[in-house]
Amino acid sequence: MHEASQDTRAYLGRRLRRLTPYAFLTPSVVVIAALLIYPIYRMVVMSTQQVGLRQVRGAPAESVGTANYQKIFDNEVFWSSLRNTLIFAALAVTATLVVGTLVGLLIHKLGKIMSGLVITAAMLAWATPRVNVAVLWKWLFDDQGGVANWLLGLLPDWLPWRDDWTGHTWFLDRTSIYFVLLLCVVWSSFPFIAVSVLAGLKSIPGELHEAARVDGAGPWRTFWSITYPLLRPVFAVLIVLSIIWDFKIFDQLFILGGGTGMSQDAYNMSLYAYSQAFASPPDMGMGSAIAVVLTAILFVLTLVYIRQIARQEELR
């Protein structure tokens, strides 16, 4: 009888130890499910429903199946928004990574005081709220009092861009809007890349770079032969994060373009979803369908890139 009781206590002890990790994980799972999974579930459900003013005021939502998806795929604005999103993300991710990496390498070469000053200045740009950044860049490129037009007017006569830039408007044409948006996004995003690259550089033993210099390798060869291979995991994370952030650009474009009143040719996917969901009359079902497509594209791109990185690591 006593041995049976001991076996029972031992069995319960093993069960308790096995369940303890799940007990600690349960609060996190509940929070993630409430804040992330349930909103995504509601977004997918709404993408198959007709959700307008009547439904917002309490009427039950009507299921329309895949009608919302058929509408957006037949709409030219959707395809131009998708094209704008893809091209801008490719340019912004590339420019941010290049500028951020160069600044990170520069900071790594500076002395303690100068590197601290540069990091502080860069982080101030990164910490500035995106709305404030957009307002700042809109002011810089203002057609009346903007600094950009004034500086362009000072260019030498032999340059091809020399012209009278007084009163030039930057926010009516799609190309010029995205040019300013690119500067705005790169300016506020590169500090994070620079600091991340700097942290990775600090972890590389100095003997490796010293050995490369002794062997006669220049900065370009040293970077591609030593620095980049060792920082590949850091770059993998930074590229994935940059793709996700630049695909979801909304508030900067909304402010620079003056809201949804800009030409629809300049919409990206986020702004197109917003305009459909909250325009007059609102159609949240259409907006949700566009958001589902954007989420699916992001998921596929991230999955493909991570798989490619994992395959490269296996081949090494």
Confidence of residue 219 (pLDDT cuts 50, 70, 90): confident
Cβ(120)–Cβ(217) below 8 Å: no
Q: What is the arithmetic mean of pLDDT over 276-281? A: 84
What CA–CA distance (Å, rounded) separates 272 from 83? 12
Identify the H or E element spanning 50: strand 49-50
Length of the chain: 316
- Cα angle: 229, vertex 234, 239; to 5 degrees: 105
For the chain, the average pLDDT equals 86
Q: Is the pLDDT of residue 185 over 80?
A: yes
Q: Is the pLDDT of residue 313 over 70?
A: no
% of residues, the chain, pLDDT over 90: 35
pLDDT value of position 152: 86
Question: How does pLDDT run across 27-51, given as a tens digit for each residue?
Answer: 888 888 888 888 889 899 999 998 8
Confidence of residue 112 (pLDDT cuts 50, 70, 90): confident
Question: How does pLDDT run across 117-168, given as a tens digit for each residue?
Answer: 988 888 888 889 999 999 999 999 998 888 998 888 887 777 766 677 788 8
pLDDT value of position 207: 83
Q: Token match 């490719």: residue?
A: 90
Overall pTM surpassing 0.85 (yes/no): no
